[in-house]
Structure 1
Amino acid sequence: MSVSEPQRQQLQRIIEQLSVSLEASQSLGGSDSELADIELTLRQLNEKMAKLSNRKMLPFYEPDYGNDFRKILPRSPLSGYFNPIAPQLKIYSKDKIMYAEGVFGLIHQGPPNCVHGGIISGVYDQVLAYCGIANGTPGFTAELQVSYLKPTPLFKTLRFRCQISKAEDRQIHIIGECHCGEERLSSAEGLFIHYENAANTSLLKGQLP
């Protein structure tokens, strides 16, 4: 089933509301009756959604993303506009360098008041890959190494900066750093295997090879 622009906008608003609900759930409290009422409401909502699920209105891969890299994988749990757990990052490319900026909330928490290290690693994996796409060398992750230098805080603006460090045949080496203000929190090095004609790759169409 294809999706019209009004439907796409409505779906995105639904995802935004789900994201708000998930964030609120991490600090939820109340009386027995208040919590029971929320449970019933969610149960009824899930029943409604189940009747409309599995229709695949959104594509797995969107080649027409302009300079908004969040559009490439609409349902990515790390960058997609249509996944409620994805952090609200602004992801863009400038002068061959990839940037991702935004704030992480309670649904991304690991240690108290800090972003879970696995979330940070996942964001690096996604943003480093987008850096390869932006520079005409899309590829699949072969290796990823993340160095955590300091705890990554919740509710503060973080900035990831990534660039290609070396390209040899099909091996693309990409490095990145994450800062909060002037403070460097982590760094990453990734090896990606370049593939040709990304738009026609069966994996990006959501199909098995």
Structure 2
Amino acid sequence: MHTSLTDPAPAEPTSPTPEELEHQKAAITRLGDELRALMEATVRTAASPDTLHRVADGVRHITGQLTGRRRARAEIPEVDEFPGGARMYSPVTGPGSPLAPPLHITPDADGLVGHCTLGIAHEGPPGYGHGGMSAMLLDELMGRACAAAGTAGLTGSLQMRYHRPVPLETPLRVLARITGTDDRKVFVSGSITTGADPDAPLVTADGVFVTPDPDRARALFPGLRPQG
């Protein structure tokens, strides 16, 4: 296709407005809610093989409707606030992720507190959460505590202690707080309890998070938008 010198240059892509971003987030959240319900129904069903095959065909058809450009591996979605903020597709906190409980985070006097309820899709031992889910919940919240304090970092180490099984379908309380710093290292503690008995720890953890220097951060996250 020939382009003359008088043809207008292609328009630069425009950034979405705050209203457009909120509309997109609402749509992502709605789809995430339905996908979580589907996943939970999938792992609980005793439907016949014929029904499962029919549903699988329907899911394949639905998947085919998610057309358009696909996000690249290191690309940060426009709906995300990275680092330290909301991430719509996080497998821990993301309302758009079918894997996430999701964990809802609020500030607390001692750091950050998160609330969630694990479903059958997160099961390890029958009736209880998978130990990896506990580690993921704590790793996420402890990292977010670092970011909330202005020292966003990557997990250097995470020491877990499992005191009691974490029950499914039970409101949980996850807590993370910073206990100290040493240059680029941030020391964080965390715990998981039930919401009904916050003084009885089910899982506790101690972690070391490391803040990368600016050059390293740019190398690790090439899609990171400039701050300020």
SS in 2 for 1:48: coil
How far has the Cα of 1:206 moved from its partner?
A: 4.5
Question: Is residue 2:102 matched to residue 1:88?
Answer: yes
User: 1:47, 1:135 → 2: CA distance?
Assistant: 42
Counting matched residue pairs gives 199
Pair 202,19 (structure 1): closer, same or farther in 2 beyond 3 Å = farther
Alignment of 1:187-198 (within 5 A): 187-195=204-212
Asked if structure 2 preserves the Cα contact closer than 8 Å seen for 1:60 and 1:206, the reply is: no
**Residue from 63, 68, 77 that aligns with 1:58:** 77
Fraction of identical pairs, as percent: 26
Q: Deviations over 1:66-90 (max 9, x none)?
A: xxx5x1x222111112211111222
TM-score norm. by structure 1 comes to: 0.84
Distance 2:173 2:33 in 1: 22
Q: Residues 204, 158 of structure 1: CA spacing in aligned structure 2 closer, same or farther, 3 A cutoff?
A: farther
The answer to which of 6-15 and 148-157 deviates more is 6-15
Separation in structure 2 between the aligned mates of residue 94 and residue 196 of structure 1, nearest angstrom: 28
Alignment of 1:136-151 (within 5 A): 136-151=150-165
Equivalent residue letter for 2:31: I
- Structure 1 spans left out of the alignment, 5+ residues: none
Task: Confirm or deny: 8 A CA contact 1:61 1:206 kept in the other structure.
Answer: no
What is the RMSD computed on CA atoms of the aligned residues? 2.5
SS of corresponding position for 1:156: coil
More strand, by proportion: 1
1:27 to 25, 44, 62: 44
Which runs of 5 or more structure 2 residues have no equivalent in the other structure? 1-12
CA distance in 1, matches of 2:121, 2:139: 19
How far is the alpha carbon of 1:60 from its aligned partner? 7.6
Q: Which moved more, 1:11-20 or 1:109-118?
A: 11-20
| Structure with the larger helix share | 1
Could you say which structure has the larger radius of gyration?
A: 2
Specify the code of the residue in structure 2 equivalent to 1:193.
Answer: V
Aligned-partner Cα distance in 1 for 2:181–2:64: 50
TM-score with structure 2 setting the length: 0.78
Q: Aligned equivalents of 2:99 and 2:23: distance in 1?
A: 23
The letter for the 1-side match of 2:146 is: G
